[in-house]
Amino acid sequence: MKLLCSLLTALLAIPLLPASTPDFGPNVLVFDPAQPDAQERIHAVFKQQERAQFGSGRFALLFKPGRYPLDLPVGFFTHVAGLGNLPGDVTIAGPVWTDAAWMNRNATCNFWRAVENLTVEPPNGTNVWAVSQAAPLRRTHIRGDLHLSSGGWSSGGFMADCRVDGVVRAGSQQQWFSRNSGWKEWTGINWNMVFVGCDNPPLGEWPDRAVTRIDTTPVVREKPYLTLQNGQWRVKVPPFQRASTCGLTWEKGEAPGAVIPIDAFHIARAGTDTAASINTALRAGKHLLVTPGLYSLDETLVVSRPNTIVLGLGFPSLIPVSGKTALRVEAHEGVIVSGLVVDASAVETETMVQFGLPNRPSGRAENPTCVHDLVCRVGGYGPGKAKRMVAIFNDHVVGDNFWLWRADHGANVGWTENTCDTGLQVDGNNVTIYGLFVEHTQKYQTVWNGERGRVFFYQSEMPYDPPSPDAWRSPTGEGYASYKVANAVKVHEAWGLGVYHVFKKAPVIAENAIETPETPGISMHHLLTFRLGGGKPGSGIRNVINGKGSETIQSQKKTVK
């Protein structure tokens, strides 16, 4: 191990970036097609990150335009991205893969990794991307087949703006969300597969086949990305699309969007920047680019200027060590937040991430706040406590891939140790979320108080560890529903909701997986519950929604509506 660490340190210390390259810090590796030691550097990072599920390492591997004959494994907290204007500008002539060999091919813990904005040419015609939550595949062209498992379990991936020339084989993927993507053929349907605005989605009708198809995506903005063209570092910001869309943004050889020079960004570096220095830059009108690392924040990062961009590279972690909110967006419109991890600390935080201010709703449909690839964690890596992870008070917010996780394994995990009531609370109106993953919180996991909310795909596991029925009794009966739409809400719609459970500590019962008002404006499509193995006899979910749907208490029986 000491030899490995020494090798990695030596490799990362080798000068790589030209003088004109911004100082992104030591954990951003920028590759050139002519670079002789690229493969060695990549494997050194992977050896450190392959098993580092709760480690402190964070890396971004960035590739200048060109062709690279490489084998590119992707470990924990590793962000792989091309620096071209289009995915075809960077080609990896080899696999870009993750297979969970570290966990006997069980990919249900393959979290916190990302690939975007490049083309992959797997030499044997197949690329393996065996992942679960918080592992987005974006703006990527696979010239071959794509396998979403590697022989073991996998569960809960996200794909957007991607093209697969061959066949997508879901394999053991229990649930998956795809948006604005396409392929030659999709094979494999298990519990809950949702396709929004995709070319050639699989056939089949719910409930006979667990397929949810929505022909077009109503409102969306693709994630911003870093580019290097003609020696100039920039951030490309795809346009917000209000008209319904289907298919990819780049397939016609175009890359619409605004181009912002890197000089307009404050480049934050772990160990150098503080909450004070970052807030000073934000108040001065800078956008924010957060480089890989751990950021201990004693004050809240406040975004008060409309149209500010906050872009993370390499899964940077914001840690509210004083218990104050880590990030608060006070601007009323146009803010973009992408690629951040927020980790609760031992000091309890009321709200980890906040969009808008309570009782002061604002926002415009023409210029919404957009949030991509947001991860919040409570425990697992160490002590963590929070009341809620994310609160959305603003109107017209568009979310794209949230994983809000109270840890069920790792360090400092227990009913009274890593405490968190709620993953997501939405008070704003006209909020739309694609790919919402909320797990293991101790009361209602998702609480929706705003009007005209829309959710496309919901994946949730109830907490494993309620110690007794009394410890988990909700205001409406036995246990807490995972998804709660408030009684006063008149209009709400959601598609493809899966709520799963395994109660390991006590024979507790949840009366409903989902609770909503029963009014004409509430439309809930394609709902299911599933009992995982290993729970206490007599525990389970009594109803899918509002007293309807078969119970999953005594057997592993999937129920659908």
Residues in the chain: 561
Average pLDDT over residues 136-155: 97
pLDDT band for position 14 (cuts 50, 70, 90): very low
pLDDT at 1 > cutoff 70: no
- Give the single-character DSSP code of 5: H
pLDDT band for position 534 (cuts 50, 70, 90): confident
pLDDT digits (tens, 9 = 90+) for 170-198: 999 999 999 999 999 999 999 999 999 99
Look at the chain and report how many structural domains it folds into.
2
For the record, the structure tokens of 94 come out as 């080899």
Average pLDDT, the chain: 94
pTM: 0.95
250 in any annotated domain: no
Q: What angle do CA 192, 194, 196 make, to 5 degrees?
A: 175
Look up the CATH number of the domain holding residue 110: 2.160.20.10
For the record, the structure tokens of 378 come out as 């409570």
Place of tokens 């390499």: 314
pLDDT at 18: 45
Contacts by residues 160-167 (CB-CB < 8 Å, ≥ 24 positions apart): 160/136, 160/222, 160/223, 160/400, 160/401, 160/434, 161/222, 161/248, 161/249, 161/250, 162/137, 162/138, 162/248, 163/248, 163/251, 165/141, 166/125, 166/126, 166/142
pLDDT at 213: 97
- Give the single-character DSSP code of 471: G
Q: Are residues 201 and 338 in the same domain?
A: no
Task: Give the three-class secondary structure for 50.
Answer: coil
pLDDT digits (tens, 9 = 90+) for 101-125: 999 999 999 999 999 999 999 999 9
Question: Looking only at Cα atoms, what is the longest distance across the chain?
Answer: 65
330 in any annotated domain: yes
Average pLDDT over residues 302-311: 98
Measured in whole angstroms, how far is the alpha carbon of residue 496 from the centre of its chain? Answer: 17
154 in any annotated domain: yes
Measured in whole angstroms, how far is the alpha carbon of residue 95 from the centre of its chain? Answer: 23
pLDDT at 560: 42
CA atoms of 59 and 33, how far apart (whole Å)? 19
Using the Cα atoms of residue 44, residue 47, residue 49 and residue 55 in order, give the sign of their dihedral. Answer: negative
pLDDT at 552: 65
CA atoms of 434 and 181, how far apart (whole Å)? 14
H or E element in which residue 184 lies: strand 182-187
Say if CB 167 and CB 147 are below 8 A apart.
Answer: no
Out of 214, 230, 249, a domain closes at: 214
Q: Are residues 94 and 155 in the same domain?
A: yes
For the record, the structure tokens of 361 come out as 């709703």
pLDDT at 477 > cutoff 80: yes
Say if CB 92 and CB 72 are below 8 A apart.
Answer: yes
251 in any annotated domain: no
Of 534 and 513, the one with more pLDDT: 513
Q: Are residues 289 and 190 in the same domain?
A: no
309 has which bridge partners? 336
High-pLDDT (> 90) share of the chain, %? 91
Q: Are residues 265 and 209 in the same domain?
A: no
**DSSP-assigned letters across all residues of 252-271:** TS---SEEEEGGGEEEE-TT
pLDDT at 559 > cutoff 60: no
245 in any annotated domain: no
Domain of 57 in residue numbering reads as: 2-214
Q: Are residues 370 and 453 in the same domain?
A: yes
pLDDT at 9 > cutoff 70: no
Q: Are residues 67 and 184 in the same domain?
A: yes
266 has which bridge partners? 288
pLDDT digits (tens, 9 = 90+) for 197-236: 999 999 998 989 999 999 999 999 999 999 998 999 999 9
Q: How far from each other are the two terminal CA atoms of the chain, in whole angstroms?
A: 52
CA atoms of 360 and 383, how far apart (whole Å)? 33
Q: What angle do CA 390, 59, 268 make, to 5 degrees?
A: 65
Q: Are residues 73 and 17 in the same domain?
A: yes
High-pLDDT (> 70) share of the chain, %? 95
Place of tokens 């890596």: 381
Average pLDDT over residues 345-370: 96
pLDDT at 38: 98
CA atoms of 47 and 60, how far apart (whole Å)? 15
Out of 180, 197, 214, a domain closes at: 214
pLDDT digits (tens, 9 = 90+) for 487-504: 999 999 999 999 999 999
Closest CA to 459 of 408, 504, 401: 401
450 in any annotated domain: yes
pLDDT at 556: 40
CA atoms of 340 and 459, how far apart (whole Å)? 20
Catalytically annotated residues: 461
pLDDT at 2 > cutoff 90: no
225 in any annotated domain: no
pLDDT band for position 553 (cuts 50, 70, 90): low
Q: What angle do CA 129, 315, 93 make, to 5 degrees?
A: 40
60 in any annotated domain: yes
Q: Are residues 483 and 425 in the same domain?
A: yes
Q: Are residues 181 and 330 in the same domain?
A: no
Task: Give the three-class secondary structure for 12.
Answer: helix
For the record, the structure tokens of 553 come out as 């208490």
Q: Are residues 346 and 494 in the same domain?
A: yes
Q: Are residues 338 and 416 in the same domain?
A: yes
pLDDT at 16: 44
pLDDT at 411: 98
Q: Are residues 396 and 330 in the same domain?
A: yes
